[in-house]
Amino acid sequence: MFHPTVFDNIKIAFENQIYDYDNLDGILVVTDRSDLLNMALMSREFSLSFQLTAGRKVTAEILLTSTTKDLSDEIMEVPNTDPGCNLSLRFYMEVEDIPSECQAIDSILKAIWGPDFQPVQSLSFIYGQESETYNNCIELQFKRQLTEEQMEDIPNLLSHLLQSAEELESFTV
């Protein structure tokens, strides 16, 4: 019989809550979902993207990953290990005034998530296309692994994620 891994259990917990926010509460719209198994590395990756129904300028994404070592430690019940997975949050939006808007984004996210989180902002544009805006991918990476012991923190984490999307949405150009 199949026994779900920590990765599977955490993935389902995120999925259930996000789809409840979409289907039952109507506060967001899921825009993309991906559940990948990398057969070459035997690793897992799950992502779920959404936009708030109140505005569609910011896309938020939950990214959950698990390595071969994480999965094998759990399946083989390796002593003195605490199997888990890695969590990253991403926000995609456009910016015009890079110095001031990126600083404001950094301040908004640090105020919500605290000083331990250092948002990484990656800017891009399509060469040859005239545009005054840049695509900004903002990533918050959790430094410690997420285990089943933190499952009860998921609603609070999602509350922070929604607050971040709302504040970035109200800030956008």
Domain edges within the chain: 6-171
Identity (one letter) of the amino acid at 129? Q
20, 59, 84, 127, 140 from 27: Cα distances, Å: 9, 13, 29, 35, 22
Distance of CA 153 to the CA centre of its chain: 15
Q: In the prediction, which pLDDT does 41 show? A: 87
pLDDT band of residue 173 (cuts 50, 70, 90) is low
120 versus 172: the higher-pLDDT residue is: 120
Residue pair 63/47 in contact (Cβ under 8 Å)? The answer is yes
Helix, strand, coil share (%) of the chain residues, nearest 5: 40, 30, 30
Query: Which segments of 89-134 does DSSP mark as H helices, in order?
Result: 98-113
User: Among 60, 56, 32, 25, which Cα is nearest to 46's?
Assistant: 32
Average pLDDT, the chain: 93
pTM of the entire predicted model = 0.93
Which whole number is the average pLDDT over 33-59? 94
As a whole number of angstroms, the distance between CA 25 and CA 162 comes to 13
pLDDT band of residue 77 (cuts 50, 70, 90) is confident
Q: In the prediction, which pLDDT does 72 show? A: 86
